[in-house]
Amino acid sequence: MRPSILFPLFAETRSLPGIGPRLEKLVAKAAGPRLLDLIFHLPSGLIDRSYRPRLIEAEAGRIATVTVNVLDHFPARDRRQPYKVRCSDDSATIELVFFRSDADYLKRVLPVGQKRVISGKIERFRDKLQMAHPDYILVPEETAELPQHEAVYPLTENLPAKVMAKAIRAAVEKVPDMPEWDDPAFIKNHKWAAFGDALRAAHAPSSEKDLQPDAPTRMRLAYDELLANQLALSLIRARMRSQKGRVLRGDGHLQKRAIAALPFSLTEPQKQAIAEIADDMASPHRMLRLLQGDVGAGKTVVAMCALLNAVEAGTQGALMAPTEILARQHMAALENMAKAAGIRMALLTGRERGPQRDEILSALAGGKIDILVGTHALFSEDVAFRDLGLAVVDEQHRFGVHQRMLLQGKGQLPTDVLVMTATPIPRTLALTAYGDMDVSRLTGRPPGRKPVDTRVLNASRLEEVVAHLKTAIAKGARAYWVCPLVEESEKIDLAAAEERAAELRKVFGNKVGLVHGRLKAAERDDAMAKFKTGETSILVATTVIEVGVDVPEATIMVVEHAERFGLAQLHQLRGRVGRGNARSTCLLIYHPPLGENAKARLKTLRETDDGFVIAEEDLRLRGAGELLGVRQSGLPEFRVADLGCHGELLAAAQDDAKLIIARDPELKSARGGALRVLLYLFERDEAVRYLRTG
């Protein structure tokens, strides 16, 4: 249960004074719906109101605070004209300008003949000083109310800065005195303030330095967040380890037959990964292992061997893919191996319904199916295995599914779990997403793969690209043509892809296919199938093809607006070609002007195809928040921590978490109690549940 000390922070923002239904929506859009979201919505800038010039010296463009006499009012002649109020000090005059403002209000706050303190941005318009909509109009006695420095918050359209600042101030005031969850010696070493003080200070910056990620207040908050993340992962991990797993020891006879049926021999890294997994399955603790390997590294075969190992040990296996296309593809890729091994494999996705589905389910429950391949449908309530020994989750480029997986034991006994990911995750990110999960890495590529010739081209050379395609396709080549999909404007991008397809059809006729996210699954599969069989030669696509499609005959990858893609994304796209024996080309087309960062990204791609190098570079160039688009990827989102700069804190948090688990695994000590509060505060409380059940 959530500690009561945190209740006020989980209140909704509409409970704050001045926040009604309309503003509530805007505040939610900018920060989130609860006070908790507001307190971690840290300032992105600050306004310095300490500049107090005489009017004659006031510099245009600066925020200034001036003391003036109100001279006269010039009400607006019509709605489009501004209302002006002329003021002066003993050196010059200034015009205060108001659009669509209430005249009565202005007469009240700016009475003629009175002194007022005005703060806002000074502008010069035809040699006259002006200030449009001052931020503050105060009587001189109130000057103390004027903040010297004012935090500026990230906003959203139509949300007034003042409203946001006031709401955040009110939320921060509600932050209770928290028990100290950090190690006192560690805090002292860093000279960090207590959580509440650090938070209040983070909202009261007095210089640009206070806004930087390495400001002590922000470091303290970032550390707390990272500790919550690492502690949660360690708790899950400790629980996994403490659970008696089952000993699954295959004798290898099915694997041997299946491997013999492959048209190639396994690489050393594949053999090693298979051995690591088999060892883990044979050990008495429950397996939670990550199989990391670049696109095309050959993970599927490794997964199949692990599944066969489970079958040899007398249990069943499940392979879950993130999409239906992929599930079908896995199924097709593994059919030969299954046949050679003489085991029964079935497919279950959202598309198998009615009697067909019932039949699969009863065969599964009766143990007549050895390996079930599918999508999330595998984990519906009514899917019951006779005895599930191993679940393989192919996350491709998404993460976090494994955590949900852990919560659902499908087997009667704890099921071993193997998670496959095609994104080479930088070490720091792997830590936040997987903690100290065991890792097998498939380095290198399967033999026979040729490097992809990567070229970066200005969009003005599009005609050359089409001419090149023409020659290649006449010789039987197949090409992907990717148009970027930007989240904010899916419609526009879709239009761009459709237009490109139409353009290409003028040259290539019905050899051009089109896939995008708006198509129904069946239509998409159909377009993919036509490309796979060669009925179409060019597949125009939004990034849907990013999620592991295997067409070995495809040798050309054209990426339009390559500058809009992240490094990792481009790397994944390029990985779609170079899968067969023929030489492949990747043409990265950019639309100038090219920013420094985009330039660096394209250069990296031209220079290396090592996914791990690319991932590190991506992290360096973009920061973790942007990497892959955190939201879609399922990587943990951090409110304060910034992995680009807080990598060292992450390592410290990991050590700290390990120590905590070793000393106080149930979080029963005084510090343990405080740490529970921390877990709830950063909403990593899923892990707390493991304490009680474990």
Handedness of CA 19, 23, 26, 30 (dihedral sign): negative
Residue 298: which of Mg ion, ligand ADP, none does it interact with, CB under 5 to 8 A by kind?
ligand ADP
Instruction: Determine, following the binding rule CB under 6 A, whether residue 297 of this chain makes contact with ligand ADP.
Output: yes
> Per CB under 6 A, which region of 191-199, 264-272, 405-413, 647-655 contacts ligand ADP?
264-272
97-105, long-range: CB < 8 A, 24+ apart: 97/130, 97/131, 97/132, 97/133, 98/132, 98/133, 99/132, 99/133, 101/133, 103/75, 103/76
Pick the binder of ligand ADP from 293, 374, 389, 636 (CB under 6 A).
293
Please state the closest distance from residue 300 (CB atom) to Mg ion, in A.
5
**Is-contact 34 10, C-beta < 8 A?**
yes
Nearer residue to Mg ion within complex by CB, 245 or 548: 548
Of the candidates 220, 299, 574, 684, which one interacts with ligand ADP according to CB under 6 A? 299
Contact with ligand ADP (CB under 6 A) among 266, 472, 651, 661? 266
Nearest distance from C-beta of residue 630 to ligand ADP, angstroms: 23
For ligand ADP (CB under 6 A), the number of binding residues is 19
- As to burial, measured by CB atoms within 10 angstroms (0-12 exposed, 13-18 middle, 19+ buried), residue 386 is middle
Question: Could you give the C-alpha distances from 234 to 336, 417, 428, 640, in angstroms and in order?
Answer: 40, 17, 15, 21
- CB nearer to Mg ion: pick between 328 and 676: 328
Complex with ligand ADP: residue 175 or 319, whichever CB lies closer: 319
Hunting for tokens 């592991």 — which residue is that? 548
Q: Does 298 bind ligand ADP (CB under 6 A)?
A: yes
- According to the binding rule CB under 6 A, does residue 555 interact with ligand ADP? no
Using the minimum distance from each CB to ligand ADP, give the nearer residue, 468 or 532.
532
The listed partner (ligand ADP, Mg ion, none) that binds 87, CB under 5 to 8 Å by sort, is none
Site track for ligand ADP across 566-605, x = CB under 6 A: -------------x--------------------------
CB of 497 vs ligand ADP, minimal distance in Å: 25
Contact flag: residue 422 with ligand ADP (CB under 6 A): yes
Question: Least separation, in Å, of the C-beta of 442 and ligand ADP?
Answer: 7
Contacts (CB under 5 A) with Mg ion, residues 535-554: 548
The sign of the dihedral angle between the CA atoms of 531, 535, 539, 541 is negative
Type of residue found at 449: R
Tell me how crowded residue 124 is: count the other CB atoms within 10 A of its CB. 12
Q: Of 35, 41, 43, which Cα lies nearest the Cα of 175? A: 35
The one-letter amino acid at 375: T
Smaller CB separation from ligand ADP, 81 or 581: 581
The residue within the footprint of ligand ADP, chosen from 20, 113, 354, 447 (CB under 6 A), is: 447
Q: Give the dihedral sign, CA 31/32/35/39.
A: negative
Residue type, 266: L
Task: Report, in Å, the least distance between residue 372 CB and ligand ADP.
Answer: 19
The tally of CA atoms less than 13 A away on the side-chain side of residue 193 is 14
Tokens coding 561: 């607006």
Among the listed ranges 263-271, 456-464, 502-510, 511-519, the one in contact with ligand ADP (CB under 6 A) is: 263-271
Identify which of residues 446 and 517 has a Cβ nearer to Mg ion in the complex. Answer: 446
393 binds ligand ADP (CB under 6 A): no
Query: Among 13, 119, 230, 270, which residue sits at the site for ligand ADP (rule: CB under 6 A)?
Result: 270
| Cβ at position 345, least distance to Mg ion in Å | 16
Stretch that binds ligand ADP, among 18-26, 196-204, 368-376, 442-450 (CB under 6 A): 442-450
The residue (of 355 and 448) whose beta carbon lies closer to ligand ADP is: 448
- Counting contacts by CB under 6 A, is residue 435 touching ligand ADP? no
CB 85 within 8 Å of CB 110:
yes
Query: Kind and range of the H or E element at 93?
Result: strand 93-98
The C-alpha atoms of residue 592 and residue 366 are separated, in whole angstroms, by 61
Q: Does 300 bind ligand ADP (CB under 6 A)?
A: yes
* Residue 269 interacting with ligand ADP (CB under 6 A): no
Dist CA 136 CA 141 (whole Å): 13
- Note the Cα 674 to chain centre separation in Å: 29
| Contact partners, residue 491, CB within 8 Å, separation at least 6 | none
CA 24 to chain centre: 25
Residue selected from 196, 367, 446, 644 as contacting ligand ADP according to rule CB under 6 A: 446
- Please spell the DSSP secondary structure of 4-70, one letter per residue: GGGGGGGSBGGGSTT--HHHHHHHHHHT-SBHHHHHT---SEEEE------GGGPPTTSEEEEEEEE
**C-beta closer to ligand ADP: residue 516 or 579:** 579
Residue 539 near residue 526 (C-beta atoms within 8 A): no
Residue 453 binding target from ligand ADP, Mg ion, none, CB below 5 to 8 Å by type = none
Q: Contact positions toward ligand ADP, by CB under 6 A?
A: 264, 266-267, 270, 293, 295-301, 422, 446-448, 548, 550, 579
